[in-house]
Chain A
Amino acid sequence: MEFHLTTPLTDMNIRALSMGDTVLLSGLLYTARDAAHKRILAMLEAGETPPFPFDGQVVYYAGPSPAAPGRVIGSIGPTTSGRMDPYAPALMETGLRCMIGKGARNDAVREAIRKANGVYFVAIGGAAALMSRCVAAVRMVAFPELGAEAVRALTVVNFPVIVGIDSYGRDIYKP
């Protein structure tokens, strides 16, 4: 099935999705990859508030190329999600439920998604120029000193993803 959804996603939005569905996402996506995950986890462990709200929001594992003058953003495709597996369950215990990346997740993440009523979306790796066209605006949220690895809020329109792991724990990579 194909869905048009706007973030933040509701419980009902997430429950309706099945592994393999295509979704066009609009609204805010928050970029975070390796270095940002390490910092966010340290903040949570120190009892601090994360730099953006988790519930229903969507984290995009991505680090864009720089925007040339006159452009909103450079190219921005997904990075390999597996590298965030060591962090994802802890973030999900604190309310994170929706992620976008590419590639397989481990058993612990799949189980955390099922428990949290979450969803893991897959974007096509390497289709980064195409995806840049879906980004209407960018705002720096945290860790600007990390460059490409900073947390940015992207306002996207019809950003194309596929449901990789649904809230029932069904995994597109484990048919």
Chain B
Amino acid sequence: MMKKIHVSDITQAVESLCIEANIVLGEDIRRSLREAIPKEDRALSKEVLKKLLENADIAYEEQIPICQDTGLAVVFVELGQEVYIEGGSLTEAIQRGVSQGYTRGYLRASAVADPIDRQNTGDNTPAVIHYDVQPGDRLTLTVAPKGFGSENMSALKMLTPADGLAGVERFVIETVRAAGPNPCPPLVVGVGVGGTMEKAALLAKYALTRDLGLPHGNPFWADEEQKLLTALNALGIGPAGLGGRTTALAVHIETYATHIAGLPVAVNIGCHVTRHRSATL
């Protein structure tokens, strides 16, 4: 028995997710910013964190974006194989939802159609859509708008098996150190380890959609997340890059099987406005 979902419901859901994700800062990030204030020694570092919380309050009260960079819209789709999409194309329904969300929500149009010609498309489409087909009859949509101040500081490296865990740690730390103040710290750092080149990048992006405070399911990697977080916060980059103890709020690692010859590692840097909103139809 197939479950029918009409494209108009998908468009409506995506539109709402785009607007909510950009205007309402997640409670997980708010909590993390609040908890960071007493850990800072300097008045300036504390002040920056307070301003970020105040900014989130203003965005909510006035229903305006938390950050003017409302991102390129990244959409993760988990499609149950028992779902029948009626009324048209799933991809077009998602793109229409992004267009409506960014237009009706007064979100910034930051997409250019060609990376060299650079004409703005005017409605922030096309979104970057990732599909995953799963058992069941549910459709889950996650909209994760990605600002490019942080996206630009992300990096990928094909390590070799001999580089091992120490090589992974070095690469994550060096990437964050090189990013310095640019990606709007405190950061959420998504790390993808394993797979192929594109799989590692996708894992790193997906890692940014995990709520802060939820550790990796495997205790080895959960420990590694904490170890890396401690190492990153020892870099001294601090809130807004003006120095301090809070360079990152969280490190999220996602892993996948890989080849006997390889150890791909991707680091996707998220700013303190690492946004994501999900809905299940």
A interface residue numbers (CB < 8 A to B): 35, 62-68, 71, 74-77, 79-80, 82-83, 102-104, 122, 124-130, 132-133, 146-149, 162, 172-173, 175
Contacts and interface: CB of A to CB of B under 8 A. Distances in A.
A80 B152 contact: yes
A170 B55 CA distance: 29
A82 B63 CA distance: 30
B108 A65 contact: yes
Interface of B: 48, 51-52, 54-56, 58-59, 62-70, 106-110, 118, 120, 122, 149, 152, 180-184, 240-243, 271-273
Nearest to B54: A130
Of the candidates B51, B64, B110, B271, the one having the most CB atoms from chain A within 10 angstroms of its own CB is B64
A125 B150 CA distance: 11
B55 A126 contact: yes
A65 B65 CA distance: 8
Contact of B64 (A62, A75, A83, A148): A75
Contact of B240 (A83, A124, A129, A133): A124
A65 B70 contact: yes
A76 B64 CA distance: 10
Nearest to B182: A103
A128 B52 CA distance: 9
B67 A80 contact: no
B261 to A, nearest CB: 36
B152 A128 contact: no
A63 B68 CA distance: 7
A136 B67 CA distance: 19
B67 A67 contact: no
Nearest to A65: B108
A137 to B, nearest CB: 17
Contacts of A66: 106-109
Contact of A126 (B63, B64, B272): B272
A129 B66 contact: yes
8 A-B pairs closest in CB distance: A125-B184, A103-B182, A129-B59, A65-B108, A130-B55, A75-B68, A129-B58, A127-B55
B241 A103 contact: yes
A146 B120 contact: yes
B184 A104 contact: no
A69 B221 CA distance: 48
A100 to B, nearest CB: 13
Contacts of A103: 149, 180-182, 241
A68 B106 contact: yes
Nearest to B242: A172
30 contacts: A35-B118, A65-B108, A66-B107, A68-B64, A71-B64, A74-B64, A77-B69, A79-B149, A80-B149, A80-B152, A82-B182, A83-B152, A102-B240, A102-B241, A103-B182, A104-B182, A104-B241, A122-B240, A124-B51, A124-B52, A126-B184, A128-B55, A129-B55, A129-B64, A130-B51, A130-B54, A130-B55, A147-B120, A147-B122, A148-B109
